[in-house]
Every structure is written in structure tokens, then in C-alpha cells.
């Protein structure tokens, strides 16, 4: 007798269940968005194939559980993606500048051409950044704004003119460079804060409501292209709640998003943070799902990644570390108390061990009063966290969400502090101690969102420029690296029991890969893409020989959008 008819069967595959290392099966059956069974091709077809079952032959390819970026700025990038020229994956400065020129030609007057992160000079063969002169020459007649990592931006002459910036333009904590005659050169530096860069970015072209919805869908699809099926939005600067969440919320309600999204709330106004959290805690329910078509499709997760402005340590490795003000503890404590009291999970941005030490003092003080008692909380980034601090994190049952920011900043870190003698962040140490670790990119303003670049970092310890940043003996094996990107990240939204493995009862979120991650050379991992991505048991992305399974793709708007011409990540 047949056990149960599946909605979908994928067979003739090498399926990593991720239950343990080297645990592979041939076939998988899916029903109602969940994994129904796994096994041999023969047994799965015999037992679960009915007349309405969609059957896909994976032609021997490798399948993994869908990837999960536990720290990405998806909601914000969704509002902007179609308006950005992305240099992610571009191999030469020559090509990057050609793209800039081409994009300027098709950009209507009055519209900004902008490159917002996702690149550095070490990815280019030329191993250098463009000069402001080259940018002015490439685009003399339209405004251009290019941001570089955390600390620098390029504003062309036309851009200076449009904004009306002069030598008297000042932004606190930032520098607008002047030449000898006192004229602005167009180069901006974040010194203590990136205020000049992000305020300027805020003055550039914004998409219309309709374009923002389209942009969010295009960015969603771009993430599906790399096998991502879940993201956790860490909120971010200038991402206001609820105004900037409405586009994603509406798409979620209509079942149009093909990523499971968990999101956080980040107070934006210095001095008003506690008030904001008091209001949010009173008005919102944690984990309420607003995606009407998919479990855990769009849910509010908690507070963070910034809780108070005074606790934000600026991760700019072009400049020395900045000491947090002595008001930090007094600002942070009432917010932590509020969150713990109301059982609101939280995440907190912290780059340096020096900051983490002081934050842990606050957590321990609150814990003595109102026990954390298993409340989910974690630090984000934690590049220079110490073993002693990790011990304290463990005691409070916290976790760490790590990102591959050093892939982009390793060379700069070395210049400032010398080569690290240990892994940074110390992921192996965290795992040894049994601390939950999620993996992510922190995309899109600094790093790319391409998860395969981040996996490359985990398994090689190299930078994007190929420099060996960690000692080689500190790299992770492929299974462990992938586990961080699946189950590890699922912990960060409390979903480790339903996501991250392809075993009976888990979410049917998976990707057929272009190459066998488990056997190809570590450096080749950078080139992997998904050929077919399944979310909630449905094919949401397909290409190449699987293209016939692809759902229809909405056309990119506006007509001048760089995404229409280049897509996202360049191969």
C-alpha cells in the first residue's frame, strides 16, 4: 500500500541531509511544505509518487538544505536594489568603470548613479580603487555616489553640485576632503561616524512604491539564485519601523516573498531608544507570522542589532578603534531589563572585545535581578571577542552571529593591527565551547550577499583578495561551515527544530547546486550557484536545464535599473 502521495519528489541526487557529516541520500519526497521522507530513488518513487506528484530528476547533482543568512539587511536593500549598480563579483576595475559609464548613459537626467558597497580593491586584478578623477572623467554630467567599505565614499563633481556641498558643509564625526585651494575633492571619510556617507546616500534617488516592491522581489530572487531560502534581517541604520517595513510586509501578506524572513527592530533616534522599545514591546507580538502562505514566512523576532546609539562600536578598520562613551551602560541597562522582563529576544551589534566586556557587565547585572533563563539573545560580529568573554556568553546561554566582514577588511585589519595569530572572529573556539553560532554576510553595504563567498572564507580563512588571513589550521571543514549557514543560523531565530536539515518533518527548503560543494576544490566553492531552489516545497528559482520549472519572473522596473542590464552578482 502506498504510504502517502507526495507533492514533489526530487530523485537521482546526492542529498546532504546535514543530520551528520557525509550523510547523503538519493531522493526526497515533500508534502505540504515539509519533508515527507528521504531514501533511495527506488523506494521514494515506489512509495510516494502519485498521479499529481511533480517529479524532478536532479541528474546526479548535489542538494543541500536551503542556506540561511542570519545577518543581512534584506528589507532595506529590497527598497534600494533596483537603483544600485553592484560591483559584487566584478573582477577588474576596468570593467567596473565601464559598467559605471554604461549605466550613466542609460540613466535619465536627475537620477543618481550609485554603487553602495559590495566591493573593494582587492577583488580587482588592478588591486586599486578608482580615483575621483577617473570617476569625474567617466561621468561628468550626472551625479555619482560610490561607497567603499565603512570608511570612505566618492562623490563626483556633478554630485557635489547637485547637493550644493561646499567647504562649509560639515557632518559630525566625518570629513569631506578639500584640496589645497579649499575646494571639495569629492572624497569623504567616516572618522568617528559614517554620518556624512549615509546622510549623503539618503539624499540620492529613491524608488517609487511600485518600484520598491519590484526591487524587493528582484533582490529576493537574487538570493534564491544562490540557494538562500531564509534570511534574518538585522534591521539597520535609517530603517524605520514600521514605515520601511511596509513594502516587505505587503509582499509577505500576498505570499510573494520566497524567503522565510525573520526581522528585528532597531531604534533609530539617539536618546529616544528606550521609549521606542517600550512602545514596540507593548504593541507587538513576537513571532507572529504575517506571511499568509508559508509558516514562519515573515515574523518579528525581537530587538536589535542596535539597541542604543551609545553602544554602537563603529567597525571601521581604516581608523583605530573608538572607545564607547561612559554613558553606554546607563543607556543599555534599562533596555535590556525591559526586553528580558517581556521575554523579547535580542541581538546586539559588537565588533570589539573591549565593547563586549562592558555589555556583558550590563547583561550580568540584569540577569542577577531578572534571570535571562534561556531567553534567546546573541552578539553580532564579535570579531575580537576573547575566550573569557565567550565563557560569560555561554553562562548566559547566548550565541554569536558571525559574518565574513574580514573577507573584505582583512588587509585593512592587518595594516592597523598586524596579522592575527588566531581565527577572527574565533569561530572554532565558539564551537568548541558549545556556543550556538549563526553565519551571515552583513550585506549589502560592505560585503556581498553571495553566501558562497562567505563559505569560501570559512573553509579557507582567505580574504577576497586571496590573502591568507587566519592561520591555516583554524579553517573549518566543509560540513561544519555549511552547518553554520543552515542549522546554526536557524538557532538565531529559534527555528533550529524546523530548519537546516533535510529529514522527515523539517521544512522543505533546499537547493540543487551547480557543483558538488563537498568534493570541489575550496577555491571553486566561490563559483557555486543554485540551479533550482525550493522553498516550502515549491520551486521558486530554476535555471539551465531546470529552467522549465522556474516560476514567471516579473520584469525589472524602472527601465533604467542596472539590475535589468547586469543582474546582481557578476560572474
CB of 451 to Zn ion, least distance (A): 18
CB of 312 to Zn ion, least distance (A): 8
Cα–Cα nearest to 115, from 98, 137, 140: 98
CB of 403 to Zn ion, least distance (A): 8
CB of 303 to Zn ion, least distance (A): 14
Q: For residue 283, with 0-12 CB atoms within 10 Å meaning exposed, 13-18 middle and 19 or more buried, which class applies? A: exposed
CA distance 141 to 129: 21
CB-nearer residue toward Zn ion: 61 or 349: 349
CB of 59 to Zn ion, least distance (A): 41
CB-nearer residue toward Zn ion: 305 or 529: 305
* Dihedral Cα 452, 386, 420, 347, nearest 10 deg: 30
Site for Zn ion in 272-301 (CB under 5 A): none
Q: Does the footprint of Zn ion cover residue 31 (CB under 5 A)?
A: no
One-character DSSP codes across 58-111: -TT-EEEEPEEEEEE-HHHHHHHGGGB---TT---HHHHHHHHHHHHHHSPTTP
Strands 14-16, 24-25: pairing is: antiparallel
Cα–Cα nearest to 86, from 128, 126, 116, 45: 116
CB atoms within 10 A of CB 162: 17
- Binding segment (CB under 5 A) for Zn ion, from list 49-57, 141-149, 220-228, 347-355: 347-355
CB-nearer residue toward Zn ion: 235 or 528: 235
- Binding segment (CB under 5 A) for Zn ion, from list 119-127, 215-223, 341-349, 364-372: 341-349
CB of 311 to Zn ion, least distance (A): 11
Answer for the pair 511, 229: CB distance below 8 angstroms, yes or no: yes
Angle at 139 between CA 135 and CA 145, to 5 degrees: 60
Long-range contacts of 172-180 (CB under 8 A, 24+ apart): none
CB of 301 to Zn ion, least distance (A): 15
Using the Cα atoms of residue 535, residue 537, residue 538 and residue 544 in order, give the sign of their dihedral.
Answer: positive
Q: Which of 73, 158, 321, 349 binds Zn ion (CB under 5 A)?
A: 349
CB-nearer residue toward Zn ion: 307 or 430: 307
- Binding segment (CB under 5 A) for Zn ion, from list 104-112, 270-278, 348-356, 490-498: 348-356
CB-nearer residue toward Zn ion: 78 or 304: 304
CB of 305 to Zn ion, least distance (A): 5
CB of 242 to Zn ion, least distance (A): 21
Judged by phi (left if over 0) then psi (alpha if -120 to 50, else beta), residue 177 lies in: beta
The residue nearest Zn ion at its CB is 349
Number of residues that bind Zn ion (CB under 5 A): 2
- Binding segment (CB under 5 A) for Zn ion, from list 36-44, 342-350, 456-464, 484-492: 342-350
290 CA to centre of own chain: 21
CA distance 462 to 419: 12
One-character DSSP codes across 175-207: EEEE-TTS-EEEEEEESS--HHHHHHHHTS---
Q: For residue 193, with 0-12 CB atoms within 10 Å meaning exposed, 13-18 middle and 19 or more buried, which class applies? A: middle
State the helix-helix crossing angle for 387-395 and 353-369, rounded to 10 degrees: 20
CB-nearer residue toward Zn ion: 86 or 445: 445
CB-nearer residue toward Zn ion: 237 or 522: 237
CA distance 301 to 260: 12
CB-nearer residue toward Zn ion: 44 or 406: 406
- Binding segment (CB under 5 A) for Zn ion, from list 174-182, 192-200, 346-354, 531-539: 346-354
- Binding segment (CB under 5 A) for Zn ion, from list 24-32, 303-311, 458-466, 504-512: 303-311
CB-nearer residue toward Zn ion: 349 or 456: 349
CB-nearer residue toward Zn ion: 349 or 392: 349
- Binding segment (CB under 5 A) for Zn ion, from list 1-9, 240-248, 305-313, 524-532: 305-313
CB of 381 to Zn ion, least distance (A): 6
CA distance 534 to 72: 20
Q: Which residues bind to Zn ion, rule: CB under 5 A?
A: 305, 349
Amino acid at each position: 500500500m502506498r504510504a502517502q502521495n507526495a507533492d514533489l519528489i526530487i530523485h537521482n541526487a546526492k542529498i546532504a541531509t546535514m543530520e551528520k557529516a557525509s550523510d547523503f541520500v538519493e531522493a526526497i519526497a515533500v508534502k505540504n511544505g515539509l519533508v515527507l521522507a528521504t531514501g533511495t530513488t527506488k523506494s521514494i518513487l515506489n512509495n510516494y509518487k502519485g498521479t499529481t506528484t511533480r517529479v524532478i530528476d536532479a541528474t546526479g547533482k548535489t542538494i543541500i538544505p536551503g542556506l540561511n543568512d542570519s545577518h543581512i539587511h534584506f528589507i532595506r536593500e529590497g527598497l534600494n536594489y533596483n537603483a544600485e549598480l553592484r560591483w559584487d563579483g566584478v573582477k577588474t576595475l576596468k570593467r567596473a568603470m565601464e559598467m559605471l559609464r554604461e549605466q550613466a548613459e542609460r540613466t535619465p537626467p536627475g537620477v543618481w548613479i550609485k554603487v553602495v558597497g559590495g566591493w573593494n580593491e582587492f577583488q580587482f586584478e588592478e588591486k586599486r580603487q578608482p580615483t575621483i578623477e577617473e570617476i569625474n572623467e567617466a561621468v561628468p554630467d550626472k551625479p555619482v555616489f560610490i561607497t567603499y567599505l565603512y570608511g570612505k565614499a566618492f562623490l563626483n563633481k556633478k554630485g557635489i553640485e547637485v547637493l550644493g556641498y561646499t567647504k562649509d558643509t560639515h557632518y559630525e564625526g566625518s570629513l569631506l576632503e578639500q584640496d589645497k585651494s579649499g575646494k571639495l575633492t569629492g572624497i569623504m571619510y567616516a572618522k568617528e561616524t559614517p554620518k556624512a556617507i549615509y546622510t549623503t546616500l539618503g539624499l540620492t534617488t529613491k524608488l517609487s512604491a511600485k518600484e520598491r516592491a519590484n526591487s524587493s522581489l528582484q533582490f529576493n530572487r537574487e538570493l534564491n539564485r544562490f540557494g538562500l531560502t531564509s534570511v534574518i534581517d538585522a534591521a539597520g541604520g535609517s530603517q524605520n519601523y514600521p514605515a520601511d517595513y511596509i513594502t516587505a510586509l505587503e509582499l509577505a501578506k500576498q505570499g510573494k516573498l520566497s524567503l522565510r524572513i525573520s526581522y528585528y527592530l532597531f531604534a533609530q533616534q539617539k536618546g529616544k531608544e528606550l521609549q521606542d522599545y517600550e512602545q514596540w514591546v507593548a504593541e507587538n507580538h513576537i513571532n507572529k507570522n504575517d506571511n499568509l502562505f508559508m509558516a514562519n514566512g515573515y515574523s518579528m523576532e525581537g530587538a536589535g542589532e542596535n539597541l542604543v546609539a551609545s553602544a554602537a562600536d563603529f567597525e571601521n578598520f581604516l581608523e583605530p578603534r573608538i572607545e564607547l562613551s561612559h554613558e553606554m551602560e546607563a543607556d543599555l541597562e534599562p533596555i535590556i531589563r525591559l526586553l528580558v522582563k517581556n521575554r523579547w529576544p535580542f541581538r546586539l551589534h559588537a565588533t570589539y572585545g573591549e565593547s563586549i566586556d562592558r555589555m556583558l557587565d550590563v547583561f550580568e547585572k540584569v540577569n542577577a535581578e531578572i534571570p535571562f533563563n534561556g531567553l534567546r539573545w546573541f552578539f553580532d560580529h564579535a570579531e575580537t571577542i576573547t575566550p573569557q568573554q565567550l565563557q560569560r556568553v555561554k553562562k548566559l546561554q547566548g550565541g554569536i552571529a558571525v559574518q565574513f566582514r574580514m573577507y573584505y577588511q582583512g588587509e585593512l585589519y592587518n595594516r592597523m593591527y598586524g596579522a592575527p595569530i588566531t581565527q577572527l572572529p574565533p569561530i572554532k573556539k565558539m564551537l568548541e565551547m558549545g556556543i550556538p553560532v549563526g553565519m551571515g554576510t552583513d550585506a549589502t553595504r560592505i560585503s556581498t550577499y553571495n553566501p558562497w563567498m562567505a563559505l569560501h572564507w570559512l573553509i579557507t580563512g582567505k580574504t577576497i583578495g586571496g590573502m591568507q588571513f587566519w592561520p591555516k589550521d583554524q579553517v573549518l571543514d566543509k560540513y561544519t561551515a555549511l552547518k553554520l549557514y543552515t542549522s546554526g543560523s536557524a538557532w538565531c531565530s529559534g527555528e533550529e527544530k524546523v530548519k537546516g536539515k533535510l529529514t522527515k518533518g523539517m521544512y522543505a527548503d533546499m537547493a540543487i547546486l551547480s557543483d558538488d560543494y563537498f568534493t570541489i576544490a575550496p577555491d571553486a566553492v566561490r563559483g557555486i550557484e543554485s540551479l533550482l531552489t525550493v522553498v516550502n516545497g515549491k520551486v521558486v528559482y530554476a535555471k539551465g536545464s531546470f529552467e522549465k520549472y522556474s516560476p514567471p519572473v516579473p520584469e525589472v522596473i524602472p527601465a533604467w535599473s542596472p539590475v535589468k542590464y547586469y543582474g546582481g552578482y557578476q560572474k
